[in-house]
Structure 1
Amino acid sequence: MDSSSSVTSRSSTVPELPGFYYDPEKNRYFRLLPGNNNCNPLTKESIRQREMESKRLRLLEEDRQRKKAIRTGLNSLFLHQKRQLGLLSSTSYCRRVHELKVNCMQRQKVEIRSPPDFFDSTSANPFQLLLADTACETVFTVNAADRGQCKYGIIKLDSLWNDHLQVDMCDNFNFTNHKINAACWVSVTHPDSHLLLCLMGIANTPGSSGLLPVSQFSNFSEDVLVYLFLSLAVQSRMLCSVKIPMAWSCAWGLNPQVGSCFSTGSTRRVYVTNIVTGLTQTFSTESDVLAQQFATRTPVLYNGCRSGEIFSIDIRQHAKKRCRRKRVCFFHNSAVTSLKILQDENYVMAADMAGKIKLWDLRTRKCVKQYEGHNNQYAHLPLHVNEEAGLLLAVGQDCYTRIWSLQDSQLLRTIPSPYPASKDSIPNVAFSSHLGGRRGVPGLLMAVKQDLFYFSYNTDTWCEH
């Protein structure tokens, strides 16, 4: 038994005394101080932070020496033998290989090569959002800037697979005073040709949602005055922009019948806008809509609410027909923060602010699987589903990135953050089987504070158990 486990076992057997804290290292009780005017107060919060930091440092050290898979008896030789005997399908074999590989991913820091900036250094701006396109060739990033501004731009990943881990930021990055609450990639003229952004209102300026052409981020040289003029107001450059009081979520129509529509989740409202006609339908809801996604096979929009309700809307019906509005309706016990419809489209994955991640069968409206270990109390955190690799990823409010097996819901790996846990250091991640495009390899991209990290599959050795 190691020292950390022995300390934990000793502290668990010591009785709790109100107003006192037992220190297992010093083997004595200490009085808990209120923490008002004390230079070094011993409070429950400081104790909890110290324990969390100790755990993070221990897990970081374990991660540096990680060589084994979680599942007992699962190794490369075992998988290869079963594949040769015909006991594993190609899909199952691929997913098992991914399970082995994610357990051996090693963290490497990525250099961000940015153009000269007239305002501040790109490397000094902490990341607030990381959103990979369909092919995972580029990522849309939002960074915090000075004076309450947000800085957003495009980072190219085509050089990520080279020996020197470097990525390039496009020349034309922009600034806005509005917080970007949500974003998604949109295919209007060609795949991932636009970005759909939701902007929070400030002061007397209302929020808005609209399309932003990705072409404006292309590398080009401009006169400084023209550059400054283009960077003044993001709302003025949006296509088919809709002004709304508060924009919490957004989604792009994937079905051909709603292929020219996007939706915005707002305060007790759902707005569906047709970019061809410019018309917007408004659907009333009983709660704020924090998560949205369109189905592909049917013109149906799924919504997750602050009340915990998940319901669907058939976009073909008129908004005033309230009695026919909700086709599917079920509930979580807390606010729903993320929705992901699986390729089968009979299942939807949902995460909430109680830290619950559930897989729902839309036909029976019952939870069929639950993924344990996620941590969330109040943050708006996304889910990342990769069905090709059979993996589910989520970053918790405790700043740990967790990876589950999509098929049997087993927790495969918990990745600690390279920085101490805080509200402004929750990682943003992107996972792909082809990170960096066609020539890319599977891996995880993680943005924490102002740094970018790459977790690559270990191609030299296989994980053994």
Structure 2
Amino acid sequence: MSAPELPGFYFDAEKNRYFRLLPGHNNCNPLTREGLQREEQERRRLRLLEEEAASVGTKSPRVGLNSTLLLQKRHLGLIPGNSYSRLIHELKVCSMRRQRLEVRSPDSSSPDTDNFRLIVADSACERVFTVNDVDHGGCKYGIMNFHAGSKGSLSVEMCDNLYFTNRKVNSICWASVTHPDSHVLLCLVGIAQTPGCVSLLPASLFSNSNTDQPGMLCSFKISTAWSCAWCLNPQADKNFSTGLSRRVIVTDAVTGRRQTYGVGSDVLAQQFALRAPILYNGGRSGEIFSIDLRQRARRGHGWKACRFYQESAITSVHVLQDENYLVAADMKGTIKLWDVRVTKAVRQYDGHHNEHAYLPLHVCEPEGLLLAVGQDCYTRLWSLGDGRLLRTIPSPHPASKDSVPSVVFSSQLGGRRGLPGLLMAVRHDLYHFPYSCDYGDGNALSKGC
């Protein structure tokens, strides 16, 4: 039986007695409820890390699910190929073990101790654009190159050229100007007398070894942009969007021509559909709405192709391959799958933790997975198909607001020779969670990936 809660006191179960909570900040080592919660969270994290080390690969995300049974059912024709591949991926996800990666740098005499804040991989997951905080304020950014070796090993090399800015990087996406992922689109927040801007940077700019011309390098003066997205649909070729306060701007990167749409709140998340030139947006008001670029902007909201709402500010939107469906996350920790045809939520993914942070989500459709890092610094993986929570990965570092991990999941980390796996950047460390190769059908995985 738990002890009753007394106002101003804390009950220590180990010592079986109450202790007074000390208010204010003038006491030496005050015992506060917030501090006790942090201690309990840290004990839980350490306990989960121990359980992870002891049980990885032995726990199944579903009762009775194991590779031997799945393989038997597949040979007997009792399970479709797609379902078999998805379930094998679930088993593989639960068997991933953490490995710390060493990042090789051209300047090996000065190890990198700046904290990672964002990592965003290109479509082949051979390059990862990184943003790091620096001690004196501002940030630096560059590109890490990944190379897959034998048996799923991964080597990482930092680019030659790193760029520094005293401005904050709000949003990043890869852009295909001259060829796939040839550029990086970067939203920089203005400070003091320095205005905000959106820069389109060629990836070759970050390598001294490239003797070719860097290609298109341009900057667009745009006041504080919260989000950005690049359009891959041929009908809006070389166009990108930026989400601002009460505005959405769609810009032609070649001509600089702009189309502006007025909205009711800050636009925090954006993504273009692939088959049609339609831009999906998520606002601070909780509204999710789409813009069809084939229609001219008009006053009011008549140009919004569809509109629906979640309860809090939208932090991420992701259009699925079947573009009738969209996944959205908000600042209350709610993640929902929407059918945009009827503007109705058809599935919810429970367990994500967010109170006020700007956190992305990641959808990996070939593996049938959805990933998100919570404000509590836990990385969670769900089954995209039925919403089941498959795994919760504790951070290798104590939880704090400046140590929320940034992650990437790919079917082929490091390129064609790479295996599926998770890449995690937290503080100044980089971790790799590769699939194990001790069970499952490699042919099925290759088809699924």
TM-score range for the pair, normalised by the shorter chain length: over 0.9
Q: Which residue of 2 aligns with 1:85?
A: 76
Q: Give secondary structure in 1 for the equivalent of 2:35.
A: helix
Q: How many angstroms apart in 2 are the aligned matches of 1:380 and 1:400? A: 15
Residue 413 of structure 1: CA displacement? Answer: 0.3
* Residue of structure 2 aligned with 1:435, choices 399, 410, 413: 413
* Residue of structure 2 aligned with 1:131, choices 120, 134, 149: 120
Q: Write the letter of the residue equivalent to 2:254.
A: V
Residue 240 of structure 1: CA displacement? Answer: 4.3
Could you tell me which runs of 5 or more consecutive residues in structure 1 were left unpaired when the two chains were aligned: 1-9, 223-229, 231-236
2:61 is the alignment partner of 1:70: yes
Q: How many angstroms apart in 1 are the aligned matches of 2:97 and 2:27? A: 42
The within-5 A match list for 1:7-86 is 10=1, 13-66=2-55, 67-86=58-77
Q: Which residue of 1 aligns with 2:136?
A: 147
2:304 is the alignment partner of 1:313: no
Q: Which residue of 1 aligns with 2:304?
A: 326
Q: How many angstroms apart in 2 are the aligned matches of 1:33 and 1:454? A: 42
Q: How many angstroms apart in 2 are the aligned matches of 1:368 and 1:404? A: 15
Residue 146 of structure 1: CA displacement? Answer: 3.3
Q: Write the letter of the residue equivalent to 2:397.
A: Y
Work out whether residues 171 and 217 of structure 1, in 8 Å CA contact, stay in contact via their aligned partners in 2: yes
Q: Give secondary structure in 2 for the equivalent of 1:293.
A: strand
Q: How many angstroms apart in 2 are the aligned matches of 1:239 and 1:328? A: 35
* Residue of structure 2 aligned with 1:169, choices 158, 166, 174: 158
Of 349-358 and 237-246, deviating more is 237-246
2:183 is the alignment partner of 1:194: yes
Q: Give secondary structure in 2 for the equivalent of 1:244.
A: coil
Cα distance, 1:355–1:82 mapped onto 2, change above 3 Å: same
Cα distance, 1:409–1:323 mapped onto 2, change above 3 Å: closer
Q: How many angstroms apart in 2 are the aligned matches of 1:265 and 1:160? A: 39
Residue 63 of structure 1: CA displacement? Answer: 0.5
Q: Which residue of 2 aligns with 1:341?
A: 319
Residues 295-323 of structure 1, C-alpha deviations (whole Å, 9 max, x = no match): 11111111000010000111122223545
2:75 is the alignment partner of 1:97: no
Q: How many angstroms apart in 2 are the aligned matches of 1:311 and 1:164? A: 42
Q: Give secondary structure in 2 for the equivalent of 1:370.
A: strand
Work out whether residues 340 and 348 of structure 1, in 8 Å CA contact, stay in contact via their aligned partners in 2: yes
* Residue of structure 1 aligned with 2:342, choices 346, 352, 364: 364
TM-score by length of 1: 0.90
Q: Write the letter of the residue equivalent to 1:394.
A: A
Q: How many angstroms apart in 1 are the aligned matches of 2:382 and 2:245? A: 32
Q: How many angstroms apart in 2 are the aligned matches of 1:70 and 1:262? A: 40
* Residue of structure 1 aligned with 2:384, choices 406, 412, 415: 406
2:258 is the alignment partner of 1:291: no
Q: Give secondary structure in 1 for the equivalent of 2:332.
A: coil
Of 81-90 and 262-271, deviating more is 81-90
Residue 61 of structure 1: CA displacement? Answer: 0.2
TM-score by length of 2: 0.94
Work out whether residues 149 and 417 of structure 2, in 8 Å CA contact, stay in contact via their aligned partners in 1: no
Residue 80 of structure 1: CA displacement? Answer: 0.5
Residue 36 of structure 1: CA displacement? Answer: 1.9
Of 313-322 and 440-449, deviating more is 313-322
Q: How many angstroms apart in 2 are the aligned matches of 1:50 and 1:428? A: 23
Work out whether residues 198 and 247 of structure 1, in 8 Å CA contact, stay in contact via their aligned partners in 2: yes
Q: How many angstroms apart in 1 are the aligned matches of 2:423 and 2:250? A: 32
Cα distance, 1:281–1:203 mapped onto 2, change above 3 Å: same
Work out whether residues 176 and 232 of structure 2, in 8 Å CA contact, stay in contact via their aligned partners in 1: no
**CA-atom RMSD, angstroms?**
1.9
2:187 is the alignment partner of 1:209: no
Q: How many angstroms apart in 1 are the aligned matches of 2:148 and 2:339? A: 40
Q: How many angstroms apart in 2 are the aligned matches of 1:238 and 1:149? A: 25
Q: Write the letter of the residue equivalent to 1:146.
A: D
Q: Which residue of 2 aligns with 1:446?
A: 424
Work out whether residues 154 and 170 of structure 1, in 8 Å CA contact, stay in contact via their aligned partners in 2: yes
Residue 254 of structure 1: CA displacement? Answer: 2.0
Q: Which residue of 2 aligns with 1:4?
A: none
Residues 374-403 of structure 1, C-alpha deviations (whole Å, 9 max, x = no match): 000111100110000000000000000000
